[in-house]
Amino acid sequence: MPSFSLPTCTFKEYAEAGRNDAQLVEEFARLCQNEQGLRALFAFTCADRAEWESDRSEPVRWWNIRELYAKALETFRPKQDRAGTLKAAGYEEDELTILRDFGEDFFSGLYRLHAIRFGAHLVHLAERGDAVGPKATIIRDGTSTMLAVAARDYRGLAASISGALWQSQVELRQAHLFSAMNHGLALDFFHIAPGEMPLRQELSGIVEDAIRAHRHTAESDEAGLPRIDGRFTLTESRPGQHCLRFETSRDAGGLIYALTYKVFRYLEGNIHGLTAHTARGNAYISIYYSLPVGKALDEARAIVESRFENSGG
């Protein structure tokens, strides 16, 4: 069967996962069989869905589709050094070592296109520590709008950022959080839901201030969380990686912050991704994270039942 006979919803179905990690990309590339099949499927997908599910109405989904296509294409045309654009921009080898610490998942995807914008700041963070503050910038990639954050990494960073965005009435669709673990750095991208209201110009400063002060992570912040009322599913999505899925018929506003706060405070999890979408009147949120060494999945499920369900104000 020729690869282009795959239904054009195939890209959409894979993109809904919100995480184009190596395992998903390899599976998708095998499905397409070869480069010609991948290119044909992408072309037919764009032609078939452009009118009724355009990138303007679904910018996050189409961003995921484009990244999945780019990553799958590289499985057929592997690159020797994906950090080559940084080297061409004048970064020295010791600086490239710091940036390469963000790993293959970062440099194989579309986020690497923004590495030059944050590279110098990340190098300064690694070299000067707390003397250098975080940097938050609103960036636009096609029809997608993202808040990109470069900062010293700490557990609870996702809650600090999502809490600041919630208080600023900014709705999220997904986020990918990259860590340079050997250097204690974070480079995070929060995809903002399309809306009619323009973003506040001071939003970057609000987020930077929240990161510096570790806001929205204190024990006292729990009393102000929105109510969490819905159905949880806790699974091991990859070896050593877990996913907390949440479904509710309530308004989803603030629930990303509430869940990232709970994962930080009670599961002691390191969050590296999240997705959120609505369908048929329900809201669906997924938080991807890793548990501390020694904390079993059954223990995490018991914590979710006792500390997460039907909680909040």
* Pick from 157, 95, 148, 103: nearest CA to 126: 95
Q: Do domains 85-213 and 218-313 have the same CATH topology?
A: yes
pTM across the whole model: 0.92
Q: What is the pLDDT of residue 164?
A: 97
User: Could you tell me which CATH class the domain 85-213 is placed in?
Assistant: alpha beta
Q: Cα separations (Å) of 135 from 42, 191, 204?
A: 35, 16, 8
Closest to 192 in 3D by CA, of 233, 227, 164, 213: 164
Residue 31: per-residue pLDDT: 94
| Class of the domain covering 218-313 | alpha beta
pLDDT at residue 50, rounded to an integer: 64
Count of alpha carbons within 13 angstroms of residue 178, beta-carbon side: 28
Where are the domains positioned within the chain?
Answer: 3-76, 85-213, 218-313
Q: How confident is the prediction along the chain (313 residues), in pLDDT tens digits per residue?
A: 444 568 878 998 999 888 899 899 999 999 999 999 999 999 999 888 766 678 888 899 999 999 999 999 999 998 777 777 788 888 888 888 999 999 888 888 899 888 888 999 999 999 998 789 999 999 999 889 999 999 999 999 999 999 999 999 999 999 999 999 999 999 999 999 887 667 888 999 999 999 999 999 999 999 999 889 899 999 998 777 899 999 998 777 799 999 999 999 999 999 999 999 887 788 999 999 999 988 999 999 999 999 997 776 6
User: What number of residues does the chain have?
Assistant: 313
